[in-house]
Amino acid sequence: MLKSGPAKKVSIYVGEDHQYHGHSVYSAILDYLFYRGVSGANVVRGIAGFGADHHLHTTRIVRLTENLPIKVEFIESPEKVQELLPKLHDMVGTGLIEIQDTTVEKPSSVSPKGSPQPAVPALKRQGKAKLMRIYVGEKDKWRAKPLHKALVESMRANDIAGVTVYQCLLGYGANRRLTANGTWEVSHDRPILLSVVETEEKLRAFFPILDDMVQQGLVVLSDVDIIKYTHNFEAEERRKEARQ
């Protein structure tokens, strides 16, 4: 981690079109710095410039070239910079590396939101619930919106714990019409399955809305045992209390 005191500011200038092992040079450099633990780096795209080849690069409407200048900049300790330089020389190719002496007055710190959380043993919760499966067609609509998307939005608005939408490969329903997904497709109206696990009380409260939205389809309700592991059980309980 970068500390207060003497440091080096490194600026690397390359062309936007320059490549390194099949990837853009600036992207490869950024990945290298990230995985070598550099405290932070920025990539800036120039709007005009020229380099050693003396070719002018610009973003003007009448473009002279697409190869705009890119600057990758980072600040690190002198020791870290010396460790990184051999690889950077290899990656930059015809580009330019500039190093300046600088002083870090205050290093950046990790925000509380992104800071690592202390390890907490996983908590296990078990209980009884209902599994609701809803079968509809991909072309089914509700108020001009795809029905499966409208159902997901409606469930979220009604505090249903979660829903997963599956696009089926092959199937048929009450109309006996075969629907498939593939090069041998029979119909473009592929089956859609929505899977929901919730308490029976919440699901039954949602049934009137479901009856209104699903004009043709199949709804299946089954008993299930839930086993849930969570690492943030206390925070989850606090959110529940805030909603009540």
Domain extent at residue 17: 5-104
Q: Summarize the confidence of residues 29-49 as an average pLDDT.
A: 84
Enter the pTM of the model: 0.46
Domain shared by 82 and 152, yes or no: no
CA atoms within 13 A on the CB side of 203: 19
Contact predicate 38/81, CB 8 Å: no
The answer as to whether 58 is a domain residue is yes
Q: Between these two residues, 44 and 184, which has the higher pLDDT value?
A: 44
C-alpha gyration radius of the chain: 29
The answer as to whether 74 is a domain residue is yes
Provide the mean pLDDT of the chain.
Answer: 80
Domain shared by 77 and 127, yes or no: no
How far is Cα 215 from Cα 92, in angstroms, rounded to an integer? 62
DSSP state of 216: S
The answer as to whether 185 is a domain residue is yes
For 173, residues 6+ apart whose C-beta sits below 8 A from its C-beta are: 135, 137, 191, 217, 218
Quote the pLDDT of residue 241.
53
Out of 104, 133, 158, pick the residue that ends a domain. Answer: 104
DSSP state of 194: E
